[in-house]
Structures are given as structure tokens and as C-alpha cells.
Structure 1
């Protein structure tokens, strides 16, 4: 966007000490849309005042956030709700200039390596063993405990880059690969865990009327790739003193998975200086309710 007299006039008032005046100026600047970001970045580089620089940074963040909000609205409208795209949109909250192509290429490399090892004669457990061997041994993805001191652990491109992810991001990667390989394995949200359930090939969550656990072969821990039996899961429920109701075994929708990811990332921003990010992430989460 080229400099104009109007933009220059607005920029000259950013340092106005009157908050009401500043808010009016800020709203006008934001109304120009993300095309004004290069102008703001140029202004930041030529502004020695740290307080004014901070105001400019917040304006740039607001512009990126408005753009991201629109992207989430469009994602939510799409009936497919692509899980990989949803997770990358979450990453764009913190990294608005993220280039997604390298991530898509890395996922495709893993998918191809798994596909080369699969054949139509493998049992679901053998398929899971191939997946886990490629993901955790060949590709070397590691599982780490959830830490709200490290927001990067929740952003998929950073997980792919570092090869270290928590139960949420690793589960997303595992499910994305299963979907691409047409394997009927989905994330289920049992209490305090996210695990992958390998469902019978004929199971459809929208039409099946019985207890979904009846249609599960076994489970996979996304932190390690280890398979768990029904007995293992039943023992877990006994250990935490929670009844294993049907809802815990029903596959989460892609919208629900992205909502959990947004809620967990929001917990990373609790300091007074960045609490506004928590509110913004939760607002994005609420968008997916509709």
C-alpha cells in the first residue's frame, strides 16, 4: 500500500497521549486491512520511541488477527474441516507469516514412506505397527509432556521442525496420516489423554447406535506409538476412578480437535503482558461452536 496524505496523518497521531484519540486512530488504521502492514513495519523501523513501537506492533497484530479470524470462519464453513489446515491456522496465530508448503511436504514424505510399507493384506494392528515404526523410529518423532511454558510445542510446523510434540500435536499428525492413507483411526478424548482408536472399517460415528468401544480394535498412544488393548484402557479408567461412558470412545470431530488445540495454546498466555492473546485464542475457539 502506497503512502497517502491520510495514512501519513494517521501515523503522525499514533503517539497521541489521549487514549480516546488513539483508539479512534487505531480503528481507522485497522480498517485499511492487512495491506497497510508494510507501511506500519516501515514506520516501526523509523520510530525510535519504544512505546510507539509497541503500539505499532499491536496494530500489526490486530490486522493479522482479523485476517486469521476470517480464515477460521471460512475453515468452519467448509464441511470437510481439513484437520491439517486447521492446525496450521492455529500456528499462524503466533507465526502469521508462516509458509505452509514445507510442512505439507514433510507430511507427504512421511505418508509416502508409510504407504510403501502397507498392503491390503495387513491387519489393523500390522498397519499401526508400520505407522508407528515410520513415525517414531524412522522419522524420530518424540513425545513430550504438555508444558504451558512452551507454546511452540502446540504449533505444528515447530513440532515438525523439532521432531518433538505433545499428545495433542502428535495425535493430529497421526490422524492426518491415517486419513490420507484411508485407515479408519481417529482421535478420542478420554480423560486427561488424547489417544488414537483404530476402528473397524465399517464403523461410522454418525450412524452407529451402539457403544463405540464395541467397534474399536485397539488404541495407540500418540506420544510413543505403543498399542494398548481394551484391558489397558479399562485399567486406566479404574485408576482415575472415572466411568468409561460411551462419549469418551466416540471419535472427536476435526472442529473439536482444533478447539482443544486452541484452548490448550490459550493456557500458555496468562501473564498480564500477553493475556490478550488468551482472550483472542478463546474467541477463535468459540467461533467453531457455530
Structure 2
């Protein structure tokens, strides 16, 4: 159901003509084919018709009709979100915070982002005040971790698809709690703002960050990418892991630690992963359409990524060393 508090105050409805009135009268038609035709035509009017739909929702007694109205409003927002996702994916630089907000707006289309930007800026400034050029990589990460998990009191949780809000940056900042992916994205956002060379890597069954050696020559594509990293970070808690810890993890899960697992993920790949994992929260008959929509959004970003350091596109993975 739409929370009435989420409906804009004093919305200005589109001038309702005979066609709109006729379409609104047909929203409750029991014939699904009729409703599909009606909904397509309503969506063609664009987001300007949303205030009219919200007014209709408020004056409708039938919960079934209210659900149909909610679906129409959702589809209108989703159409715009699809276009914005396409544009973000085409940008020369995919800003990670903007990508995370796109995912949050899937569930909260009227999200006010100014407070989120302010919260991120507070975090950035608090960490910046503690950083200096003389800190070692481990000391830099200790500053980030201390501010995020001790001062800011961020808490992490295992990924649970019954807790969709733990994927979304707006709810994460509100509750100071997120799952490994959400916390990892927040860690990456702040790191990028502070020019700390931390990237997500594709360790199986985990969302792990790596501190990449800033002096390493990333154009040497045949080098083993595992050794581009000083150490690894668990974004659930900020705990640091050594190379030996990671090697032991691969032994425990009985998976060969191939080089591709240690390559830095682009921001586009991170947001694609967030969308795919978030979609699993809607694996039920009632919200299956949301799962499909999120997977469709992820597919928009499923294009070959440029190497974030060399600018080269890796479509084949042929540069991957098959063993470590």
C-alpha cells in the first residue's frame, strides 16, 4: 500500500480530460487484457499523471483497485528510473553514490537525496580530519574503520533477503545498519571521495574490499592481481584480513583462487551486483514483477567494463591468469 505520508503535499494534478476520466473508470475492469491496454495508455501520459492517480487512490474504497493504482504509479517511476540507469551506465565515470541512490529510488521513488549527501559529507570530513600523508595503508584504513564503525556506529549484518531495507543506502544511513554489500558500498564511496585506493573484489560468496597498492603499475595486465593488494577488508565490521587469511578461505570452500577473483570491480559492476542481490528480496508471487524489473535494470549495466586503471575493455577475460 502507498503510505499517505509519502504522497506529495498539494500535488498539482494534470488537467483531467474525457480520455483520462474514461481510463480511470476502466482501472477496475476485471478483464486483464483491458487493464493492460488501459495501463499502457495511462503510462503514456508520463509522470505528470501521478498526482491524479494519487488523488484517485485516496478516494477509492476497493483495495484491489488501490493495488492497481499503486502498480501504475510504480511503473511510471520505473520508466524514468530505467532511463536514468541507462544514462548513468553511459557516463564516463559512474559515481557510486549516484548508482546506490538509483537502487534506493526503485523502492522509494520520492526519496529526498539532499540529506543523504549531507550525511556522506559529514563522514568524509570527519575522516579527512584524521588522515595525513604520513599514514601507512593500514593506518589509513584504521582511521576509516574507526570513524565508520566506532564513531558513526555503523553495524553490519549477513545478507538476508527477508530484510530488503538493509540493501538501500537511505535506510542504512537512517538505521546505521546495512548488510555486507551496502556497508561495502558506503566504505567505497567514502574511500573514493578521500582518494584512498580501496576497491571491491569478486571473492566468491563474499563482498570483500581490497586496499590496492597506489604505486602499482596497473598496465601490467599479466601480473597476478592478488598481489596488487596490501590487504583485504570485511565491510561488515571493517576487520582487516591478510593474504594468508584469504588463501585459507579458498582452501576452506574448496575453490581455486583464480586471478579474476582479485581484479578490482568497477562501480558499474558493483551496482549491477547490488541490483541482482536486491532482486532476490522479491522472489515471491506478489512481487515477482519487482524482481524482474531489478534484473532488467541490472541487464542495462551488463556491458563490458573498462579497466578502471588502464581504460581498456576486457570482454573476454583472456588476460586472467588461470591459477594463483
Q: Same fold (TM over 0.5)?
A: yes
Query: How many residues are matched?
Result: 290
Equivalent residue runs for 1:1-290 within 5 Å = 1-203=14-216, 205=218, 208-290=221-303
In structure 1, distance between residues paired with 2:199 and 2:137 = 13
In structure 1, distance between residues paired with 2:218 and 2:200 = 12
In structure 2, distance between residues paired with 1:205 and 1:161 = 37
Change beyond 3 A, Cα 1:207–1:25: farther
Gaps of 5+ in 1: none
Gaps of 5+ in 2: 1-13, 304-324
In structure 1, distance between residues paired with 2:49 and 2:164 = 28
Change beyond 3 A, Cα 1:204–1:109: farther
- Superposed CA deviations along residues 186-212 of structure 1, whole A, max 9, x for unmatched, are 111201111111111133656543111
CA shift, 1:84, in A, is 0.8
- Contact 1:198/1:217, CA 8 A, preserved across alignment: yes
More helix by share: 1
In structure 1, distance between residues paired with 2:299 and 2:293 = 10
CA shift, 1:49, in A, is 1.8
- Contact 1:205/1:250, CA 8 A, preserved across alignment: no
- Contact 1:197/1:217, CA 8 A, preserved across alignment: yes
CA shift, 1:228, in A, is 1.0
In structure 1, distance between residues paired with 2:34 and 2:228 = 61
- Contact 1:171/1:196, CA 8 A, preserved across alignment: yes
In structure 2, distance between residues paired with 1:261 and 1:205 = 26
In structure 1, distance between residues paired with 2:169 and 2:73 = 23
Change beyond 3 A, Cα 1:160–1:204: farther
Change beyond 3 A, Cα 1:39–1:101: same
- Contact 1:153/1:166, CA 8 A, preserved across alignment: yes
SS at match of 1:117: coil
In structure 1, distance between residues paired with 2:243 and 2:63 = 58
Change beyond 3 A, Cα 1:81–1:173: same
* TM-score normalised to structure 2 length: 0.87
- Contact 1:111/1:180, CA 8 A, preserved across alignment: yes
- Contact 1:113/1:134, CA 8 A, preserved across alignment: yes
SS at match of 1:217: strand
Change beyond 3 A, Cα 1:75–1:267: same
- Contact 1:205/1:251, CA 8 A, preserved across alignment: no
Runs of 4+ in 1 over 4 A off after TM superposition: 204-207
- Superposed CA deviations along residues 71-92 of structure 1, whole A, max 9, x for unmatched, are 1011111120111110110011
